[in-house]
Structure 1
Amino acid sequence: MTSARRTLIDAETTPFYHIINRCVRRAYLCGNDELTGKSFEHRRGWIVDKIKALSNIFCIDICAYAVMNNHYHLVLKIDIDKSKSLTNHDIITRWNQVTKGHEVATKYLNGDTLIEGERMLLDGLLTEWNERLSSISWFMRCLNEDIARRANREDECKGAFWEGRFKSQALLDEQALLACMMYVDLNPIRAGIADTLQASDFTSIQERIVELKTTSYKSTITLSERSTEEPLKSLVQLDGSSHLATESEAQSGIPFHFSDYLELIDWTGRAIRPDKTGYIDSSQPKLLNELGISADAWITSSKSFRRQYSGASGRWEAMCEFKKQHQHGKWCKGKSYSDALHPSP
C-alpha cells in the first residue's frame, strides 16, 4: 500500500528530494515514435520551461533535472527560509499565478477594507497558500497537470497521461545529494543517447556548462551590449559554501564547488563503460577522496542510485530513523549501498 505524501516529504528533516515521474502511454513523453514517425522532442522544452516558471513562483529551487523519452528526473530543494520571509502580498501574488485566487485576497490587494469575517478567512487562506508554495506535492501537481493537458490536446485524446503518483526520495546528507545529482545528470550517457556532457540535451549539467561559457563570454562585453530580457531562474549554485551535515546550515545551498563537481561527473561518465563494470583509467577525483568513497562504490551508485534505495538515501542510521518517524517503521532498503557511500573513518 502506498504512503501518504506528507509521510515521504519533510522539509524540516531535509530540504532535498529526488523526484521521478513516468509517462503511462506508449506514445512518448518526448523522443521519436518509430511506429508513426512522429516527433515529440518539443515536449522536453515544455517540461524545462514549466519547472523554471514554477520555481519562480514556489519556494522550491532546482538542483538537477533530466528529461528523458518517457520519464523525467528532478532534484528539488525546498527553500524554507524564503517561505518564512514571504509577505502577505507576496503570498497572494504568487498564488494568483497558480490559480484564480480568492475575491477576499483581491480586495486585500486593492486596499479595500475587510470586515472581521473576511479578515479571518484571509488569515486562513494565507496560511494555507504559504504552506502550498513550499510543497513539492503542489509543485508537481501544477507541473504534471499542465504538461498532461497540453499533451492530450496535441494528441487529441483524453485520459491519464502520467503513470500514477510521482515517486520521491529524501536525500539526507551530502553523499546522497551528490550521488543523486550525478545519477540524474548522467541519465543520457547511461541510456546511450548522448556521448558527452555538452550533448546531454535537457539536463542540468548541460545548462550549467552553457551558463559557465556564457558568463565567461559576457565578462568580455560591455553592459550596453547585454540583453535586457529577464533571465530564467538559475539552478541552485554549487559554491561549496555550506555543509548539510550541520543542522544549523541544513537549509543552505549545495555544498560542493562546481569545478569539483564537473571533474567528478566527467570522470564518472568516462568510467561508465558497457563492457566493463567500474573501469577506472585515471586518478580518483578530489571529491571522492574528500568523502572517502571508493571508485567501485561510486560507479555502482552512478549507474543504479534509483534502485538502491526506497524512500530515503543517506547514512543507514538516518535512513532507518526517517522511516521510523515518517513511515511508521517500514522496512528500510539499501544498507550495503549506504555503507559504501558512507565509509567509517
Structure 2
Amino acid sequence: MTRARSSQISLDETPYYHCICRCVRRAFLCGQDHYSGQDYEHRRQWVVDRLAVLVEIFAIDLCAYAVMSNHYHVVLKVDRARAETWSVEEVAERWMGLFSGPLLVRRWLRGETVEAETLKAVEIVESWRSRLFDLGWFMKCLNEHLARKANEEDNTKGRFWESRYKSQALLDEKALLSCMAYVDLNPVRAGMAATPEQSEHTSIQQRSQALSQKPGQKGGAKPRLVPMVDAEHIETDDEGTLCRVRLMDYLQLVDATGRALREDKRGAISAEAADVLQRLGIDETAWLRHMAPRKQRTPLAMGTMCRLRAFAKATGRRWIAGQKAACSLG
C-alpha cells in the first residue's frame, strides 16, 4: 500500500532529500522525442528557471540537480529554522509571490483591516509558514508549473507526471555526497555528455563554471546552490555550507567516479579523489559498488546503519531496505 509522503520525511533525522520525478508514458520533458520527431530541448531551462524562483521563496535550498530527457533529479535541504525566523509579513509576501492569496490578506498587508480581520489574516498567513519548508509543497509548485506549460505547448490535457515524486532521505554526509555525485553523473551515464562539465542544465556544470569564472548558461537564470566549504573552513560545522568537502575536491571526485563507471575506462579512483574518501571514512571499493547503476527500486533512505535505524523509528517503520549498502559505507 502506498504510504503518505509525510511518513517518508523526518526533519528531525535529516534535512537532506533526493527527489525524482518522471514523465508519464513516453512523454518527453526535454530533449529530442524520437517517436514524434519534436525537439523539447528548450524545456530544460523551464526546470532550471523554476528552481531559481522556488529556492528564493521557500526555506528549501538546492544542493544538486540534473534535468534529463523524461525525468529530473534534485537534492534538497529543508531549512525549517530559517522559516521560523521570518516575520508574518515576510511569510505572506513570500507565499503570495506564488499565489494571489485571499482578499483579506491582501487588505491586511495594505493596513486596511480592523482587529478581528487582522487576527484572521494572521492565522491564515501562519498556516502558510509550514508550507514554505514543506517538501511536498515545493515539489507541487515545481511540477504543476512545468505540467501546465508543457500541456499548453502540446495543446493537450491530462497527467504529465507518471506519479507522485519519489523521495529518498540522506541521513549523513556520506549519503549526501554519494547521492550528489550520482545525480551529477546522470547525463554522462546516459551518454548525453562526455564529461560532467559538459552536462547542460546540471548543478555540476553550474559549480564548474563558477569555479572557472566562465559565463553561465544562456537564455535563463541559474538557481542558487548551497555552497561547499572553502579551504579555511573545511574543519568547521558551518550550517550555511553543504558538507566538509571543498568544491575542487568534489569535482575531482565526480570526475574520478565517472571514469570508473564508464565501460571503456574501467580505471580506479584517482589519487586526488582518494584523499576525500579517506577523510570521510568511505572505503574505495564500497564507494564504486555503491555508485554502480541499480535496477532495483531506489531505497527510501541512505546512510549508516545507526542512522537508518533512527530514521525507521522516526517514520514508524520496523525495517528499511538498503542495510547492506549502509554496512559497506561504514
The answer, yes or no, to whether TM exceeds 0.5 is yes
Aligned match of 1:25:
25
Contact kept, 8 Å, 2:91 with 2:129, in 1: the verdict is yes
Aligned match of 1:329:
317
Q: 1:31-180, aligned counterparts within 5 Å? A: 31-116=31-116, 118-180=117-179
Query: Partner letter of residue 124 of structure 2?
Result: L
1:34 offset after TM fit, Å?
1.6
Query: Partner letter of residue 82 of structure 1?
Result: R
- CA offsets, 1:150-182, max 9 Å, x none? 111111111100011000011110000000000
- Whether 1:290 aligns to 2:290 is no
Aligned length: 323
Moved over 4 A (4+): 240-244, 249-252, 305-309
Distance 1:34 1:274 in 2: 25
| TM-score, scaled to structure 2 | 0.90
- Whether 1:183 aligns to 2:172 is no
Aligned match of 2:202:
203
Contact kept, 8 Å, 1:179 with 1:305, in 2: the verdict is no
Contact kept, 8 Å, 2:108 with 2:118, in 1: the verdict is no
Distance 1:290 1:308 in 2: 30
Contact kept, 8 Å, 1:75 with 1:181, in 2: the verdict is yes
Contact kept, 8 Å, 1:174 with 1:243, in 2: the verdict is no
Distance 1:125 1:140 in 2: 22
Contact kept, 8 Å, 2:13 with 2:314, in 1: the verdict is no
- CA offsets, 1:243-277, max 9 Å, x none? 89xxxx6954311211211121121112112257x
1:305 offset after TM fit, Å?
7.1
Distance 2:291 2:176 in 1: 12
Aligned match of 1:223:
none
Distance 2:294 2:101 in 1: 40
Distance 2:296 2:173 in 1: 19
1:233 offset after TM fit, Å?
4.6
Contact kept, 8 Å, 1:17 with 1:77, in 2: the verdict is yes
Q: 1:306-345, aligned counterparts within 5 Å? A: 307=296, 310-326=299-315, 328-342=316-330
CA RMSD, 1 decimal: 2.4
Distance 1:80 1:236 in 2: 15
Query: Partner letter of residue 21 of structure 2?
Result: N
Distance 2:297 2:286 in 1: 12
Q: 1:221-300, aligned counterparts within 5 Å? A: 232-239=222-229, 241=233, 252-255=240-243, 256-274=245-263, 279-280=267-268, 282-283=270-271, 284-300=273-289
Distance 2:291 2:278 in 1: 16
Contact kept, 8 Å, 1:48 with 1:202, in 2: the verdict is yes
Distance 2:240 2:71 in 1: 29
Query: Partner letter of residue 212 of structure 1?
Result: L
Contact kept, 8 Å, 1:62 with 1:75, in 2: the verdict is yes
| TM-score, scaled to structure 1 | 0.87
- CA offsets, 1:64-109, max 9 Å, x none? 0000011100000112232022111111111111111122221221
Query: Partner letter of residue 225 of structure 2?
Result: L
Unaligned runs of 5+ in 2: 216-220
Query: Partner letter of residue 227 of structure 2?
Result: Q
Query: Partner letter of residue 126 of structure 2?
Result: T
